[in-house]
Amino acid sequence: MKRERQLKGRRGRWLRHILTAHGLVSYIFLYFPIVVLVVFSFNASRYASAWRGFTLEWYVSLLQDAAIGAALKNSLIVAGGSTVISTVFGTMVALAMERYDFSGKLAFDSLLYLPIIIPDIVMAVMLLIFFVLAHAQLGLVTIIISHVAFNISFVAVVVRARLAYFDLSLEEAAQDLYANEWQTFARVTLPLIMPGILGGALLAFTLSIDDFVITFFTSGPGSSTLPLRIYSMVKLGVTPEINALSSFMLIVSMLLVLLSFVLRKGGEGEIEIV
């Protein structure tokens, strides 16, 4: 069936131009602040907002800042740890949810979706109360636990999207050829859903390294991550180092997101919308 998407006639042409112009303006709106931030990070002026020439000074001073080094290390530990745990658990639960029916599945499914839709300030408060009442020492461990609590859900959603297109006859074929269950999983199932798993892992890593609110509530002394460091720098007053650090983080996470989408797309089908 031919789907006619064009607006016809002279007035249609006007509408089309307005629509295009609106689309263009919307995309400029989305990228304008990012461009401003990156441009300012190369601005030689320390105090005035005016342009005083190009410099890499702020990036160099980032490299020499010990507190930022420590924050980067914490960020990598938290993101790395929570990604590994949530990717393993999330993939397992995705397999269970796509392959099996069991009583209480709907309730469990809802529980699995809740961390995605709950406002992050509420989740942050919940976890803070839990850790305080459990007399847990707030620090990297509590941050990782909290990040896993929301990342399992994101990984599960991404892997399930991949599993939904899985051709079960491929597994049957492997078993016809005398592969045992473990061999079938390791040689057939796992490689086929690997793009989904990697995409989910990258998403988890990105969400974890970018998270501010939940980390803010569940961190203790000495466990500042990069977003926490940026936040306290902003609160103390805007300095050009923040622009450099923010631009750097923004570019890195944009690359990660791009990679995550390429992996999840896996060469076929449309972009998955989580």
Partner 1 sequence: MKPRSRRDTWRLLVLIAPSLFWLLIFFLVPLVMVLVISFGQRGTYGGIVWDFTLSNYARFFDPLYLRIFGRTAGIALATTVICLVGGYPMAYFIATRPPRWRNTLLLLLMIPFWTNFLIRTYAWLLILRDQGLVNMVWTGAVHNLFLHLATAYPAATLFSSLAGLTSVPLELFGTNGAIIVGLVYAWLPDMVLPCYAAIERLDFSLVEAAQDLYANRVKSFLRVVLPLTMPGLVAGSVLVFIPALGAYVTPDLLGGAKSIMIGNVIYSQFMSARDYPFGSAISFVLMAIMLIATLIYFRLGSD
- Report the residue from 70, 84, 145, 192 that binds partner 1 according to the rule CB under 8 A: 145
Could you say whether residue 27 binds partner 1 (CB under 8 A)? yes
Contact status, residue 226 vs residue 189, Cβ threshold 8 Å: no
Question: What torsion, rounded to 10 degrees, do the Cα atoms 211, 213, 216, 219 define?
Answer: -60
3-state secondary structure of 54: strand
Q: With respect to partner 1, which residue has the nearer C-beta, 26 or 64? A: 26
- Please report, for residues 27, 69, 155, 252, the alpha-carbon distance to residue 41 in angstroms, rounded to integers and kept in the order given: 22, 19, 34, 15
Could you say whether residue 29 binds partner 1 (CB under 8 A)? yes
Residue 43 is classified by DSSP as B
Q: With respect to partner 1, which residue has the nearer C-beta, 108 or 166? A: 108
CA 170-171-174 angle, to 5 degrees, is 90
Could you say whether residue 166 binds partner 1 (CB under 8 A)? no
Q: Which of residues 232-271 bind partner 1 (CB under 8 A)?
A: 234, 238, 242-243, 246, 249-250, 253-254, 257-258, 260-261, 270-271
Pairwise CA distance, residues 39 & 114, whole Å: 39
Q: With respect to partner 1, which residue has the nearer C-beta, 170 or 254? A: 254
Could you say whether residue 148 binds partner 1 (CB under 8 A)? yes
Could you say whether residue 167 binds partner 1 (CB under 8 A)? no
Q: Which of residues 33-62 bind partner 1 (CB under 8 A)?
A: 33-34, 36-37, 40, 48-50
Q: Which residues pair with 54 in a beta bridge?
A: 43
Pairwise CA distance, residues 231 & 225, whole Å: 10
CB of 181 to partner 1, least distance (A): 9
Pairwise CA distance, residues 222 & 56, whole Å: 29
Q: Which of residues 65-124 bind partner 1 (CB under 8 A)?
A: 88-90, 92-93, 95-97, 99-102, 108, 111-112, 114-115, 117-123
